[in-house]
Amino acid sequence: MPHDNILERYRDIVDDFAKFQKSCTTRQPLSCWVPAHRPWGHELLQDSGASRLTWKEDAFRDWTLSPAFVQAFLTGACVIQEEAAMSPIDALNLNAGESVLDLCAAPGNKTAQIASRVGWTGRVVANDVSSSRMHVLRGLVDRVGLPNVLMSNHNAADFPDSGFRYDAVVADVPCSCEGTSRKNPKVLLPQHPDQRTRLAGLQEKILRRAIRLTRPGGRIVYATCTFAPEENECVLNRVLSSPESAQEVELQKVNLPGLSTDKGLLEWNDVRFHPTMSRAVRIWPHFQDTGGFFFGILRKADGNRNPETIISADNDSRREAESIDVSNGPWSNHGLRNDTFSSLLTQTTGGKYDRLVVDGEWPGGLNEIIRGMTGLNRKSDQPRLSTSLAQFIGSAASAGKVQIAPENVLDYFQRQITPVLEMTPPLGETRFVIVFAGDIPLGLGHIPKTDETMVESVFPKNWGGLNVEEWIRSQLR
């Protein structure tokens, strides 16, 4: 069956059907956003020719493959994400210090958005049913530097309920993915007649679980990347019209100035929906040259309507973790301020690397994969910073750092020896230093005893799930 017949079912609910149909089968622009704690990404992306999104000041599209983009990506200063897919987390209006559950997290771009928003006083549980897909998220956590993420492996519809209640839960559920056709045309091929029914049943289960796991007064995001009302408004309608006991929710109005959106449908195939369904958001590809997306922001009824306020946490959340003494061990080599790691702990794993994790209570009873980001490297007799930690410390270092010239940055990423422009020696006996290009921390280097005018790169051969040399060649071809 041709693609246009698959899309024909939406003719009556979308403006300018011909334009919509054409946009669904043409390539879409690449887009990315800059984490708040990696602000140098703004200048690097502008240097790469990218243009800022009209509705989101920390996001860009249409960069050129250039050294500036390579530097932004490898220092965790940009996260590539489809533009429309960025919108639900922006609409959620997260606050610093909040606890958030991302039920279907892999590959992790929304998790990174959440973690950047709630900061190092907040906590994010990133869950996915596929443990293999979580490897991508693990690489993203290290590349962007996110100590506030705990990864777990559960079926989202049966996510453990230990009594812990989150400030917000994100349910970006499995769907038919029609809105991703601009990068994956196969999603517009004919489906088995039972496919939508099966998906809608799973989506409803996940959404109801998300509501139960949210604290009274908290928020829930329900999102898909499909156009199908069966997976969008129909699912929301069943939950709004028939809530589980003491799990009432209401759809909230969404405010995203500058982003062209459509309202949720009030009717489909002669079925009338809840009167507030117009508060849901549809993003059609031809509106702003994006992918297709649907989401709604739900608010759970407050405490006087919902007595369930039990909070149960992981009593062992600080297991083998301790505060960081910047005057001791490898931490003491870089002249760090006492408050550099406020609200953060170091967790000994017994392996090659420690972990850097946020302090505070985490939910218990989870099949935990890993917590926090890679911390100290203990592979040798001389413990040192990992690349993640060197980039995380950044401008907080006043010693144990070197400057290299901008023209040598790509050499550094490809593990070559590069000339030192300026050096502030480490305070201890180590010869490991944080390598900078201007104000941007690139990673770790080693000063050879034979020539202190050069720095040996120890940037990883594989970083964020990529073979670095091959990836650089692909970006500069």
Please tell me the distance from the alpha carbon of residue 335 to that of residue 291, in angstroms, as a whole number: 46
How would you classify the pairing of strands 123-127 and 149-152? parallel
Residue by residue, what is the 3-state secondary structure of the chain?
CCHHHHHHHHHHHCCCHHHHHHHCCCCCCCEEECCCCCCCHHHHHHHCCCEECCCCCCEEECCCCCHHHHHHHHCCCCEECCHHHHHHHHHHCCCCCCEEEECCCCCCHHHHHHHHHHHHHCEEEEECCCCCCHHHHHHHHHHHCCCCEEEECCCHHHCCCCCCCEEEEEEECCCCCHHHCCCCHHHHCCCCCCHHHHHHHHHHHHHHHHHHCEEEEEEEEEEECCCCHHHCHHHHHHHHHCCCCCCCEEECCCCCCCCCCEECCCEECCEECCCCHHHCEEECHHHHCCCCEEEEEEEECCCCCCCCCCCCCECCCCCCEEECCCCCHHHHHHCCCCCCCCCEEEECCCCCEEEEEECCCECCCCCEEEECEEEEECCCCCCECCHHHHHHHHHHCCCCEEECCHHHHHHHHCCCEEECCEEECCCCCCCEEEEEECCEEEEEEECCCCCCCEEEECCCCEECCEEHHHHHHHHCC
Residue 424 — φ and ψ, nearest 5°?
A: -110, 105
Q: Is the peptide bond before 460 cis (omega within 30 degrees of 0)?
A: no
How would you classify the pairing of strands 373-377 and 353-358? antiparallel
Q: Tokens for 218, please give them.
A: 């908290």
End-to-end Cα, the chain, rounded Å: 38
Region of 226 (left: φ > 0; alpha: ψ -120 to 50; beta: rest) is: beta
Please tell me the distance from the alpha carbon of residue 239 to that of residue 212, in angstroms, as a whole number: 12
Residues tagged active-site: 225
Alpha-carbon Rg for the chain in angstroms: 24
